[in-house]
Amino acid sequence: MLDKNSIQTFLEKDIHSIFISLIQGGCSGTKVSVQTEFDRTGLVSSPITPELTVFYRSEEQKLLEQGHITFAKGKWIFSSEKIQDRCGCGESFSFEKKLIDTDKLTKLQSIFGKKKGLHE
């Protein structure tokens, strides 16, 4: 679930508990958040090594444990078979496939086509 380099980094910094959650944000609507300072009230926990325990919201635990989280280029990246859509940079994602508004797409094509002189 959490990559080996991130686990090692937390342990080197003497961090033995983290909170992983899904938050609203980014182009695709959802991002993963990893925090080292948090209130444990109402959270569930799961040890991922003998030295590091992860805390979750109960409704997100299964989904997060089935995925893979890595820290790359200054941001947390969540990978899972459940993800249906992802932004260009890879940080945000959606569990639902986003449909393209074809009316809006047709209007944009018409506008850009007129600017290029393709439509009369």
Question: pTM of this prediction?
Answer: 0.74
- Which domains does the chain possess? 4-115 (2.60.300.12)
What is the number of other CB atoms lying within 10 angstroms of the CB of residue 113?
12
| φ/ψ (deg, to 5) at 106 | -60, -45
For residue 27, pLDDT over 80 is answered with no
Residues 20-33 have a mean pLDDT of: 82
What digits encode the pLDDT tens for the residues 51-66?
Answer: 999 999 999 998 898 8
User: Pairing between strand 30-35 and 17-24?
Assistant: antiparallel
Q: Nearest-CA neighbor of 34 among 68, 82, 81?
A: 68
